Structure 1
């Protein structure tokens, strides 16, 4: 697909053209899954990441700004999501090791359920954020974008992004205050500009 074709398709996509979206999906879905699977060595998670990307592409089509080619944007997005997922796994492993060290024991079944319950509570807390705040939080924490990149993508000022992130972090800390000992050093609640 030529860059001119990509630009036309992206323009049509932004206008809500479902056929353009289907063409993009049919062209890139399989190669993106293959790429993600290669990065993750996990076919199921790879497909999940690519599917989430296409849902995001459609739902954010009107506000999406792509400065590179569409192909580059899609592959870079998949790469970033894969790296975030790998980082998330490493954080969970470090956390489990820390819990083992603190307790001086092997993790037992109740520790596992505490971890699962905590993950669910985090997801619920993020989902409870107001829409714009949640969107900014996810762009920062899940896609690893800097505040300036988020501001550019959403057409906001950096100060507005900082304000929303500050409020999101405050709200999440309050909702998850029962688990505060588990978040020491965790990047989820640390500011990053």
Structure 2
């Protein structure tokens, strides 16, 4: 009796009767949600998947190609949709893990590069003559104004600018040579 009702619904569907679609939906929706939940273990995902299937089933006219057991077809279709969803989740999870690992590796590499550059800068700064090192340190590291630095060092602002210019030139040369080595 149940199969004959399904056969009647299928025949009516093929005739384009929306009432048959509604009856099929009402008859199988809850059971298909339970079936999908068995695979997905998430109630809302299961409901959404079944609803999307029924929409596509109607809009794409998938029922036109059906013969025989519609219940079996619906269960198999939902099973395949669930398995596809699980594969998609697994692939997304793998991708997220790979991105996470690459990000961690890149951050570690960046940290090493910065530490190395800082060490080279510190070494190059230490190798400068005392007044140039002081001028660069006070102006660029301590962020003091030229006038205040010149006064503190007991030199003119023009002399300070000369120390800064020569100090930066020396730093560039030393860092370039150390990076090439």
Pick the TM interval, shorter chain.
0.5 to 0.7
Match of 1:77 in 2: 77
In 2, the alpha carbon distance for the partners of 1:84 and 1:72 equals: 18
CA 1:87–1:9 in 2, change beyond 3 Å: closer, same or farther?
same
- CA RMSD in angstroms comes to 2.2
In 2, the alpha carbon distance for the partners of 1:66 and 1:57 equals: 11
**8 Å CA contact 1:14, 1:62 repeated in 2:** no
**8 Å CA contact 1:100, 1:106 repeated in 2:** no
CA 1:72–1:62 in 2, change beyond 3 Å: closer, same or farther?
closer
TM-score, normalised relative to structure 2:
0.53
**Which runs of no fewer than 5 residues in structure 1 stay unpaired?**
108-193
Match of 2:100 in 1: 100
**Which runs of no fewer than 5 residues in structure 2 stay unpaired?**
108-181
In 2, the alpha carbon distance for the partners of 1:38 and 1:55 equals: 21
Matched ranges for 1:39-188 at <5 A? 39-61=39-61, 64-105=64-105
Larger gyration radius, structure 1 or structure 2: 2
Q: Which of the two has greater helix per residue?
A: 2
Q: Does 1:17 align with 2:13?
A: no
Number of matched pairs: 107
Deviations 1:103-150 (A, max 9, x none): 33599xxxxxxxxxxxxxxxxxxxxxxxxxxxxxxxxxxxxxxxxxxx
CA 1:34–1:106 in 2, change beyond 3 Å: closer, same or farther?
farther
Deviations 1:27-67 (A, max 9, x none): 10110111111211101010101101111121122763124
CA 1:97–1:8 in 2, change beyond 3 Å: closer, same or farther?
same
**8 Å CA contact 2:10, 2:63 repeated in 1:** no
In 2, the alpha carbon distance for the partners of 1:99 and 1:48 equals: 28
**8 Å CA contact 1:15, 1:62 repeated in 2:** no
Moved more, 52-61 or 72-81: 52-61
Match of 1:156 in 2: none
